[in-house]
Amino acid sequence: MVNRKRKTQLFHDYFEEWVELYKVGAVRKVTLDKYYMTHQRIVELASDLRLCDLSRTTYQRLLNSYALTHEKQTTMDFHHQIKGAILDALEEGLIDNNPTRKIIIKGKEPKEKRPKFLNQFELQSLLKQLNLTNELNWDWFILLVAKTGLRFSEALALTPQDFDFFNQNLSVTKTWNYKNSIGEFQPTKNESSNRKIPIDWQTAMQFSQLVKDLDEEKPIFVMNRVFNSTINNRLKVLCTKADIPIITIHSLRHTHASLLLFAGVSIASVARRLGHSSMTTTQETYLHIIQELENQDNDKIIRHLAMLV
């Protein structure tokens, strides 16, 4: 029989215990921090909500309160994290019904989105603005991300020994925790993120000279604490000079992938290069591009069939 005291437990206390029990040691630190943030929001928005008071109405009110200051997708993420704990509470018999059933996700109007990627002409204009000196700087970092599609934390973690100049490969086996004040290596996002990325001969030649005298085991781009905003601010300056849309460093990863897809590279190959856990992720992220390519393919099919008459 379920302890009545547990049924009357405050929901935010239950959620905190649930995170400690099921998530600590099972998810990456960046994901765990999101759960801790979700817990903090529950405390702020529903500090006196008890497990036994959870219903579709009280849960919808919680989501509505959160949605007042967050966009719809962020509210959906908030809901998904809480839902896991609620379903476990239901299974334990701490609540009688599933309050998340038929829930409505709301949210404030999204901000105007920055462009997700550049076209080939815009990227070439950007690269022409780079100040590629004889020593590594953030412009070299931008070039490398543009040519490899690396995640920001993956590129920060690169060491000289990750480059195989003879075979023109770049090994991705770790990331750099730049959010930590001291900085440290940590595992990649998932097993699929451990990969070898082929690089062009010019990039291989350039970086072979840039890293030849550096410590084999130390990150080549990290000298002091790194902030994402530092690189994005540099990109803003370069984009403005090039008279192209202002993008972020993560948008360069999207640019890399989109140009490969438009060049006819298969979704499977792009997924492996990006380190996606499945092709589904790639398809969902670049659906608009894939649909455009399908339309082009349909035109080719029709033209080919017309020639068979």
Say if residue 227 is exposed, middle or buried (CB neighbours under 10 Å; 0-12, 13-18, 19+): exposed
In a domain? residue 112 = no
Pair (154, 288) in one structural domain: yes
Unique residue bearing structure tokens 């547990």: 6
For residues 111 and 298, give the distance between their C-alpha atoms in angstroms, rounded to a whole number. 35
pLDDT score, position 167: 95
Tell me the C-alpha distance between 231 and 220, whole Å.
15
Domain identity same for 237 and 146 = yes
pLDDT of residue 290: 79
**Residue 286's pLDDT is what?**
85
36 shares a domain with 164: no
Amino acid at residue number 88:
D
What is the structure's pLDDT at 309?
61
Tell me, yes or no, whether 163 and 82 share the same domain: no
**CA–centroid distance for 81 within its chain:** 17
Q: Are residues 127 and 244 in the same domain?
A: yes
| Number of structural domains found in the chain | 2
Q: What residues make up the domain containing 79?
A: 4-91
The pLDDT of residue 69 is 93
Q: 65 and 10, same structural domain?
A: yes
pLDDT at 115: 65
Residues in the chain predicted with pLDDT less than 70, given as ranges, are 1-3, 112-115, 297, 309
- Shared domain for 50 and 153, answered yes or no, is no
For residue 13, give the CATH number of its domain. Answer: 1.10.150.130
pLDDT score of 113? 65
Q: What is the pTM of this model?
A: 0.68
pLDDT for res 2: 54
- Residue 25 falls inside a structural domain: yes
Angle (CA) 104-105-109 rounded to 5° is 135
Last residue of a domain, one of 70, 91, 112: 91
**Same domain for 226 and 77:** no
Q: 63 and 133: one domain?
A: no
Pick left, alpha or beta for residue 243 (phi over 0 → left; psi -120 to 50 → alpha; otherwise beta).
left
